[in-house]
Amino acid sequence: MLASAHRLSIKNSCRGIVAVLALLGVLALSGCKSSSEPPAPTDVTLTAGDGILTVTWTMQPNVQYWLFYAPASSISMDNWTSLPGSTAQMNVTSPYVLTGLTNTTMYALTINGRYDYGPGGPGSPSVAATPRLAGDSWSVGTIAACHPSLPHLHAVTYGTGFVTVGDGGVVCTSNDAKTWIAPAALSGIPLTNPNLFGITYSGQYVAVGASGVILTSPDAATWTDRTHSLYSNNLLAVASNGSGRFVAVGVNGTILTSADSINWSPPTNYTGPNISTVSLNAITYANGQFIVVGSAGIILTSSDGNSWNPATTVPSTSVDLYGIAYGAGTYSAVGYDTNTLTGSVLTSTDASNWALPSSTAPFGGNTLRAVLYATRFIAVGDNGSIYTSPDGANWSPPTNPPSYPTPIPTLYGITHGNYGYSVVGTGGRYLAAY
């Protein structure tokens, strides 16, 4: 009786110690074991991504799993606390995604289990993998499951999931940028089914397109038409500052701004050359300002969407610009030089003074249609072309270029979300890189 009571006391003490140490952030015990500890998973696998590792294993009923990892080649329950940078995650489920990791650094991982938040069992065999930049290898497919006519897709964004828009008012959604479906309750798209050229997300989706159409949706399924009859020019792109201000741009120098995505109007103050014949092709928001790029080397900036100023220095008016992004301390605008008949890039550190990079670019005759920075710059364009850059100035094609069935698409849109890149283009074509 005394022996049983003593064992019960030890077991309860172990559980108490576990609870206290967990609260303190120390998530492992040595010398506090129980015969009821679950065995370690035997099939833990790591899949490397861009700054992430996806962990999978077979879960057993009624077992709580804790995960231990560190930037190291190996890890165990005995040494994890002594490894620099070691981290533990409680009550994880498979699959589990570790985020915020350093690319090119190896991480080792082990998992153990426990019953009823009791003492942890033995750790699984150490496994290791190295996160790497996405964008060197791409999967290619079509949105046939969403729209079998395979319309041209012009833009893609990430909000509650990936959403792409295109010709004929098509809207398709995806959780992984690979399997695309039509929203189950798609409604509210005008009966004229306008071509949609741009989309963004900031608490809600805003899509813009032909004849000045502006649509909003909380879920990419039910849409409301916000179009104003006074503004009938094609709108090509839209962006938000993340605080309720939206700006849409388009042909004939069109700029429309909104504080609520419902009511839209031209800006109150524009200082600069006449842009009434200029096509404004792309817009982004970075470093506290909107940046717009367009044909004939036009570049405009605004802190509020109402007062606009042209860039101070643009090296060439022969470059038609179709994309703009910011990252690594650099603005990068991409397009096509109508003099040299080659793809072109302009760079700037302040969005006001721009220059042609000194490095030789590999774009050839491909027009660059869009650019994005997430973990590095990626530009896409004609002939299914994709280029990557660490700094916005020095570019190279991916290590494993996509293999396209004919016809080879023009790529118009790119976004980043859910730890991966999504690209869309003509013929309902999509690309994904994780």
pLDDT in tens, 123-171: 999 999 999 999 999 999 999 999 999 999 999 999 999 999 999 999 9
For the CA atoms of 216, 217, 220, 223, what is the dihedral angle to 10 degrees?
-80
For the segment 5-61, what is each residue's pLDDT rounded down to a tens digit? 333 333 333 333 333 344 334 344 433 444 589 999 999 999 999 999 999 999 999
Residue type, 396: S
Residue with tokens 């660059």: 368
Phi, psi of 345, deg, nearest 5: -135, 140
Look at residue 193 in the predicted model and tell me its pLDDT: 85
Residue with tokens 């050359």: 273
Look at residue 360 in the predicted model and tell me its pLDDT: 74
pLDDT over 80 at 236, yes or no: yes
For the segment 160-183, what is each residue's pLDDT rounded down to a tens digit? 999 999 999 999 999 999 999 998
- Count of alpha carbons within 13 angstroms of residue 123, beta-carbon side: 23
Pick the CATH number of 139-433 from 1.25.10.10, 2.130.10.10, 1.10.8.870, 3.40.50.800: 2.130.10.10
Mean pLDDT of 318-346: 97
For the segment 56-91, what is each residue's pLDDT rounded down to a tens digit? 999 999 999 999 999 999 999 999 999 999 999 999
Break the chain into its structural domains and give their ranges: 2-129, 139-433
The class that CATH gives domain 2-129 is mainly beta
Look at residue 35 in the predicted model and tell me its pLDDT: 52
For the segment 308-319, what is each residue's pLDDT rounded down to a tens digit? 999 999 999 999
State how beta strands 269-270 and 307-310 pair.
parallel
Q: State pTM to two decimals.
A: 0.86
DSSP-assigned beta bridge partners for residue 113: 65
Kindly tell me the burial class for residue 232, based on how many C-beta atoms sit within 10 Å of its own C-beta (0-12, 13-18, 19 or more). Answer: middle
Structure-token pair, residue 73: 């080649």
Look at residue 184 in the predicted model and tell me its pLDDT: 78
Give the whole-angstrom CA distance, residue 33 versus residue 123.
Answer: 13
- What DSSP state is assigned to residue 407? S
Q: What is the mean pLDDT of the chain?
A: 91
Give the whole-angstrom CA distance, residue 371 versus residue 392.
Answer: 10
Residue type, 31: G
Give the whole-angstrom CA distance, residue 360 versus residue 393.
Answer: 9
Portion of the chain with pLDDT greater than 90, in percent: 84
For the segment 368-399, what is each residue's pLDDT rounded down to a tens digit? 999 999 999 999 999 999 999 999 999 999 98
Identify the helix (H) or strand (E) that includes residue 110: strand 107-114
* pLDDT band (50, 70, 90) for residue 188: confident
